[in-house]
């Protein structure tokens, strides 16, 4: 959106340090500077109150206006200290005039009575925006950042199945298959049946078949050379999906099913269904491929 690299970095720091924590907590956002005497007087008050209210879901975030001039400008900070309360990415109160411990606690008590903050954890509706953010980032191709978001969610809600699944899929997207397997091995037993976990496990099993580029090329050539060689077709389809080419994998498997749906006890159909599960049954691509499969099977 026209931001410089430094401005983009500033926005990312603010998102990670303030916006993301504010999705499930009430963040006291303090704009300050080293040279500001009143800021130094206010800091101990803010820190004490934040510590006293930590079990109520209150955290303190500090923005040095000299180091983060772009962020300060977005908040139109004209004097310091300036203090806001942030919840779910938005300012919900100006706390600047609360300079004493009792004043600050009084304002926080009013806010906490109105906002859906649950001490010791976050309600599902508060985690949902973070999950959506992680999925959007992962879909955009930034696997490392997506993994960081899902890991942060798990710090808030360690038993959240979609967050575990998202972290596994992010690790797979980053090419960290062994790390993804370790995550699966460490999953709590009660999450084994979670639909998103099942999907992530399916993706992991398929990712284990990812070949080197030269091997994939050889498998493709072998499949093209003899369309009747079902074993060669299946090997190529499996490798193609693991390498990220789901269209080639599906086209190959659909052609196999059309030619001989009973080959090897329906291995082509079983592989295609495994791919559907890994991608997600609600995915539009899966819906389109399932329609094509139905036409082949039932006319």
Q: Which residues are catalytic?
A: 36, 39
Comparing CA positions, the residue from 80, 70, 92 lying closest to residue 13 is: 70
C-alpha distances out from residue 54 to 122, 230, 235, Å: 14, 62, 55
- State how far the Cα of 221 lies from the Cα of 32, in Å rounded to an integer: 64
Helix axes 195-207, 161-173, angle to 10 degrees: 20
- State how far the Cα of 51 lies from the Cα of 57, in Å rounded to an integer: 10
Q: Residue 41, class by beta-carbon neighbours within 10 Å (0-12 exposed, 13-18 middle, 19+ buried)?
A: exposed
- Looking up tokens 């093209």 gives 224
Q: Where are the alpha helices (DSSP H) in the chain?
A: 5-14, 20-22, 37-52, 69-74, 101-114, 124-139, 143-156, 161-173, 177-185, 195-207, 213-225, 230-242, 246-259, 267-279, 284-298
Helix axes 230-242, 267-279, angle to 10 degrees: 10
Q: Residue 199, class by beta-carbon neighbours within 10 Å (0-12 exposed, 13-18 middle, 19+ buried)?
A: buried
């Amino acid at each position: 959106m026209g931001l410089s690299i430094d401005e983009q970095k500033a926005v990312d720091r603010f998102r990670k340090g303030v916006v993301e924590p504010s999705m499930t907590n009430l963040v006291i956002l303090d704009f300050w500077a080293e040279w500001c005497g009143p800021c130094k007087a206010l800091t101990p008050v803010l820190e004490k109150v934040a510590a006293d209210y930590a079990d109520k879901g209150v955290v303190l975030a500090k923005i040095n206006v000299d180091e983060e001039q772009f962020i300060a400008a977005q908040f139109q900070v004209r004097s310091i200290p300036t203090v806001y309360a942030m919840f779910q990415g938005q300012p919900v109160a100006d706390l600047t005039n609360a300079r004493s411990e009792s004043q600050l606690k009084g304002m926080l008590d009013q806010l906490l009575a109105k906002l859906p903050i649950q001490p010791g954890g976050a309600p599902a509706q508060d985690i949902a925006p973070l999950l959506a953010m992680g999925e959007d980032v992962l879909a955009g191709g930034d696997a490392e950042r997506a993994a960081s978001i899902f890991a942060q969610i798990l710090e808030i809600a360690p038993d959240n199945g979609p967050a575990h699944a998202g972290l596994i899929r992010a690790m797979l997207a980053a090419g960290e298959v062994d790390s993804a397997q370790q995550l699966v091995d460490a999953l709590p037993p009660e999450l084994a049946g979670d639909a998103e976990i099942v999907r992530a496990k399916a993706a992991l099993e398929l990712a284990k078949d990812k070949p080197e580029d030269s091997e994939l090329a050889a498998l493709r050539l072998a499949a093209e050379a003899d369309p009747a060689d079902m074993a060669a077709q299946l090997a190529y389809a499996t490798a193609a999906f693991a390498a990220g080419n789901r269209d080639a994998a599906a086209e190959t498997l659909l052609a196999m099913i059309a030619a001989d749906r009973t080959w090897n006890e329906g291995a082509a159909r079983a592989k295609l269904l495994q791919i559907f599960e890994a991608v997600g049954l609600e995915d539009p691509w899966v819906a389109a491929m399932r329609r094509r499969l139905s036409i082949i099977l039932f006319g």
